[in-house]
Amino acid sequence: MPDRVAGYLIHFDEDRRNYLLNGIRDPADGFSDALSSADWSVRQWEVCGLMFEPDAITHWALARKGHRVATGKVKVDFTEVTPTDIKIADVVQRIGEGVQRNIISSRSGSGGPVPGATWQSLKRALREIDPVSLEAVERLERLREQSRERITRPGTEVVAQERDATGVALDVFDQTGRLRKATLQGWTAPTGDNLTSFLDGLAGVRTIEDQLIARDAASFPQAEGRRTTLLGAVFSTGGRKLEVFNVNRSSVEHALGVDLLYYHEDFDAWTMVQYKSMEREDDDPERTAVYRPDARFDAELARMVGFRQAIADRWTPTDGVSAYRLHGDGFFFKFCSRIQLEVLSEALLPGMYLSREHIESVLADPASLGPRGGRQITFENCGRHLSNTLFADLVRDGWIGTRSVSSARVAQLVQEGLAGNRSIVIARARRSGQAANVEETITSLRL
């Protein structure tokens, strides 16, 4: 019985195609190409070495078969493309000429998948030639394996919400969506039985900006010896910086949900999103997703109301145009109709954003009562909602968010959220050209 397929080596040996794929655009953005259908038996991600030169592996990537595009051809999608420089002659010197028979020609379709034994020999050769390249291959292998399994470790739901909150912050910060795609799609679940933080699985963060902070803050008074864990990263694009932190009082498996706080320095605006999971009765995907408010929800909503009663949202024309808002309250909920944690996905969680005041209006309407008199929030009885895209656009352009709220007041929200055993995701978008200053953020928010 032949060894199972372990990977692919693909030589793009047509000059025009090579120019289009490697000359006009950056392969790191991902791309698609038409290849022989005989080489791709399943629609699963596989690890590939890409050769844009005849004598060298120039990139490593993950590839997956798509639909048929021509006779004997299928679309193959490439993602997580990582540059390297491995000379084929160096590989042959170590494992023999047989590996050359496995190199697939994009022109003729000759060659074939690399079997397991040959792939392991290739990896041993990489350890000698370029250990960094071997690390890239092994990371892609972890992504491949995790893409074929459902992640159900303790803390999965909270980390999925942290992932979404980070993705929303990246979309607000970067309108192109490229940062979100690169970040979310490149996440791998850390080894071990438990999950810790979404940022903990982002090896690619270091390539965006080489600054990763992991530290324990001092114990809170009256906290029974518990410590607050803080993990942060800095993202960069176009001369702008975004600081993102995951803050937890306890482990994610014991957290009761996630809050996102986004600070837009250009507009001096804070926006807070509290995540809530909707349910489908009997796990029936055809049934309407529903969230049923409980005593904890009432307490959290009352906390927001109390905050706003203490700090009224006021604006006059003399405050300036940057302080103008369509909605200056700053408090929102995201009701997620499905919670899942998956690798090799750039998608945000499906759901709806509702402002605090909108929620109060929904709950005051008799239509929010279910057949047994219980309160419920659904897509139908809310009437309207903000989508992921619209919410990010409104925050990015300063149409929503607080005004004239001090960091000390926001720190109060953070501490109350931690006391309520929630995981906090904090994102701070610096002004263009301004350097990141994580210590300033940590200090100002009393983290």
Token readout for 319 is 């405050």
Task: Name the residue with tokens 């600054």.
Answer: 211
Q: What pLDDT, on a 0 to 100 scale, did the predictor assign at position 67?
A: 82
Distance of alpha carbon 182 from the chain centroid: 8
Q: What pLDDT, on a 0 to 100 scale, did the predictor assign at position 283?
A: 57
Stretches where the chain sits below pLDDT 70 are 1-5, 16-26, 39, 41-42, 203-228, 281-287
- 294-322 burial string, b = 16+ CB within 10 Å, else e? eeebeebbebbeebbeeeeeeeeeeeeee
Q: What pLDDT, on a 0 to 100 scale, did the predictor assign at position 19?
A: 61
Q: What pLDDT, on a 0 to 100 scale, did the predictor assign at position 211?
A: 38
Q: What pLDDT, on a 0 to 100 scale, did the predictor assign at position 208?
A: 29
Q: What pLDDT, on a 0 to 100 scale, did the predictor assign at position 221?
A: 32
Q: What is the pLDDT of residues 406-418, one digit of tens each?
A: 888 999 889 889 8
Q: How far, in Å, are 7, 30, 108, 260, 335 from residue 190 at the CA level?
A: 23, 24, 40, 22, 27
Q: What pLDDT, on a 0 to 100 scale, did the predictor assign at position 286?
A: 52
Strands annotated E in 71-129:
73-87, 103-105, 114-115
Distance CA 165, CA 209 (A): 20
Q: What pLDDT, on a 0 to 100 scale, did the predictor assign at position 66?
A: 81
Q: What is the pLDDT of residues 370-428, one digit of tens each?
A: 888 889 999 999 989 999 999 999 999 999 999 888 888 999 889 889 888 999 999 99
Are the C-beta atoms of 85 and 56 separated by less than 8 Å?
yes
Q: What's the Rg (C-alpha) of the chain?
A: 25
Q: What pLDDT, on a 0 to 100 scale, did the predictor assign at position 438?
A: 86
- According to DSSP, the β-strands at 351-355 and 377-378 are unpaired
Distance CA 442, CA 447 (A): 5
Q: What pLDDT, on a 0 to 100 scale, did the predictor assign at position 426?
A: 95
- From 178, 51, 68, 164, select the one nearest 104 (Cα to Cα): 51
